[in-house]
Amino acid sequence: MGCGASTPEGADGAKPEKKAGSGDTAGSPGPDKFFKEVDKVKKKQPDNLCAKYLDKKYYSTLEGADRDTFYKCVRTGIDNPDSGMGCYAMTPGDLTKFKPFFGKVIGDYHKKDPKCALTHKNDWDISSVGEGGVLDLAKLGMAEPISMRVRVGRNLAAFNLPGAMDKAERIKFEQTMLPAFDKLIATEGYGGKVYSITPDFGADGANPNFIDDAKYQELVKKHVMFKDMDADPYLKSAGISSDWPFGRGCWMSDDEQKIIWIGEEDHLRIMVMKKGFLINEVFSELKTMLDLVETLEVCKFAKDDQYGYITSCPTNLGTGMRASVHVKIPNLTSDGTDAKAKEVAGPLGLSVRGTGGEHTPIGADGTVDISPRARLFIKECEIVEALYKGVELLMAAEEKAGKEPAPPPAAEKKADAPAASTAASPEPDDFFKLVDKVKADQPDNLCAKYLEKDYYASLTGADRDTFYKCVRTGIDNPD
Ligand code: ADP
Ligand code: ARG
């Protein structure tokens, strides 16, 4: 529409009454219109940090392309009121350019202090952590090898962040990375190959690394490739999943333990993943790979003076690191949900995810993905230490939960409380958080397709427990 940015100044050069950024543009709504929505979210979802710190006065000071970019950063939090963070940077410079907003969101999320002025420091020296740098899960009583993964998010300073990339830039980014992967492939101990789901390279023709859908699905199942980003509403309204699947793929080493994602939420997610007991081993192997990657000419990573490594999502800033293990906690998940596990893990600084990653259900056997929540204003070595100590405490809680008397059978519960969780079936709100994700991710899953919240909520006691037993498999196994 283009009607907001060009009101002429008065003859004396003074600013006119009406601010330049007061109307809608093609790329962003005017403040009045936008804040009608923002105010609703502020009221309904006080934990949505984006809505919490969106300020009409500040928004009104932004004009033209700046306001459009800022709107792209924050739109996801308003489109998706249940967001916890609710915003993503579009370019490496956005954190500085829009600091009056991002500074508060980041400070609140990472330090519960919107005024936080700390400066992040990276430190991978693990020697003083654990027993001389060794973090051995077997010492915590783990009998079977544990699936361990440590990843970092990294972005190239020379490109827009994924939310602002167009199709041509996504393809160019993938092509730019190919010589770097060639170097890894030629390095002893690495090898491997690139798997790409980019249908073609546009004007540059065929993509030599293209894999078909069956191979892609196989890699997703093995936790090697990332899921269909376009099914993630948070990424979608930030533009991060646009042009899917162009510019997306991964490199994986010969031993299938070293992986680099291309074109997910960050330009690169660099990780080591394997089954075993020594978390420090995965950590150190990642550091070695990262040092090698950083010597490659194209890999000039975006960094911020205060916030360290820049990532699309402010939750990942600083280290960009998520260190996780898949552990079985059947006692804490005996109701089929992660509600109790989250209750216990939260105060330990741990996040609980499903076995397919963020926004996926827990495993049918009670397996969950546990990782420290902190990424910024914490050292890399402290993250793996926090994972180890957190798992130790979580397993103690799991053991304790196994000794507690079993909850009364569902049939003994009051039949007039259909909305509450029973021993054997989750409450409708909790269950349908998962069901709705599966509905969105897997439209061919007939169980999810025909599960109705009202119907589920109408069932009580033993009937609801039995019904839940009938359908649980379809939600535990989205495919
Ligand atoms: P990210 O860790 O990059 O934020 P997700 O939580 O979506 O992303 O997880 C991405 C993939 O990595 C998923 O397939 C998930 O199951 C897998 N994953 C994460 N941690 C582990 C682990 N410790 N063992 C095996 N797979 C894992
Ligand atoms: N944007 C989502 C929210 O605010 C997800 C944030 C954390 N996860 C992530 N993948 N960056 O709730």
pLDDT digits (tens, 9 = 90+) for 373-407: 999 999 999 999 999 999 999 999 999 999 877 65
Percent of all residues in the chain with a pLDDT value above 70, rounded to a whole number: 92
- Rounded CA-CA distance 80/329 in Å is 31
How many other CB atoms sit within 10 Å of the CB of residue 214?
A: 8
Q: Output the CA 368–ligand 1 centroid distance in Å.
A: 11
Radius of gyration over alpha carbons of the chain, in Å? 24
Q: List the residue whose alpha carbon is closest to atom 8 of ligand 1.
A: 357
- Rounded CA-CA distance 77/47 in Å is 11
Q: Does 362 have pLDDT greater than 70?
A: yes
At 230 the three-state DSSP class reads helix
- Rounded CA-CA distance 53/467 in Å is 43
Amino acid making up residue 279? I
Q: List the residue whose alpha carbon is closest to atom 17 of ligand 1.
A: 223
Ligand 2 nearest-atom number relative to CA 86:
4
Residue 47 in contact with ligand 2 by CB distance below 6 A: no
Q: Does 412 have pLDDT greater than 50?
A: no
Q: List the residue whose alpha carbon is closest to atom 9 of ligand 2.
A: 313
The pTM of this model reads 0.83
Q: List the residue whose alpha carbon is closest to atom 3 of ligand 2.
A: 83
Question: Which ligand is nearest to the Cα of residue 152, counting in written order?
Answer: 1
Give the Å distances, CA to CA, from 370 to 15, 225, 249, 286, 387: 54, 19, 25, 19, 8
The answer to whether 380 and 122 have CB atoms below 8 angstroms apart is: yes
Report the run of H or E that residue 59 belongs to, with start and end.
helix 56-61
Q: Output the CA 323–ligand 1 centroid distance in Å.
A: 9
Ligand 2 nearest-atom number relative to CA 313:
11
Residue 313 in contact with ligand 2 by CB distance below 6 A: yes
The answer to whether 79 and 237 have CB atoms below 8 angstroms apart is: yes
How many other CB atoms sit within 10 Å of the CB of residue 22?
A: 16
Query: 469 or 118, which is more confident?
Result: 118
- Rounded CA-CA distance 429/198 in Å is 37
Q: List the residue whose alpha carbon is closest to atom 14 of ligand 1.
A: 223
- Rounded CA-CA distance 375/391 in Å is 17
**End-to-end Cα separation, the chain, in angstroms:** 44
Predicted confidence at residue 461, as pLDDT, reads 82
The answer to whether 63 and 20 have CB atoms below 8 angstroms apart is: yes
Q: List the residue whose alpha carbon is closest to atom 16 of ligand 1.
A: 356
How many other CB atoms sit within 10 Å of the CB of residue 398?
A: 20
How many other CB atoms sit within 10 Å of the CB of residue 302?
A: 21
Q: Does 186 have pLDDT greater than 50?
A: yes
Ligand 1 nearest-atom number relative to CA 149:
23
Q: What is the mean pLDDT of the chain?
A: 91
Residue 86 in contact with ligand 2 by CB distance below 6 A: yes
Q: Which of 51-55, 225-229, 328-332, 472-476 has the lowest mean pLDDT?
A: 472-476
Pocket-testing residue among 106, 236, 261, 315, ligand 2, by greatest number of atoms within 8 A of Cβ? 315
Pocket-testing residue among 135, 142, 155, 223, ligand 1, by greatest number of atoms within 8 A of Cβ? 223
Q: Does 52 have pLDDT greater than 90?
A: yes
- Rounded CA-CA distance 153/310 in Å is 8
**Band of pLDDT at residue 6, cut at 50, 70 and 90:** very low
Q: List the residue whose alpha carbon is closest to atom 2 of ligand 2.
A: 83
- Rounded CA-CA distance 60/31 in Å is 6
Taking residues 247-258, report their average pLDDT.
Answer: 98
Long-range contacts of 133-140 (CB under 8 A, 24+ apart): 133/280, 134/278, 134/280, 135/278, 135/279, 135/280, 135/384, 135/385, 135/387, 135/388, 136/277, 136/278, 137/277, 137/278, 137/279, 137/325, 137/388, 137/391, 138/277, 140/388, 140/391, 140/392, 140/395
Q: Which of 2-11, 190-199, 240-249, 435-444 has the lowest mean pLDDT?
A: 2-11
The answer to whether 53 and 101 have CB atoms below 8 angstroms apart is: yes
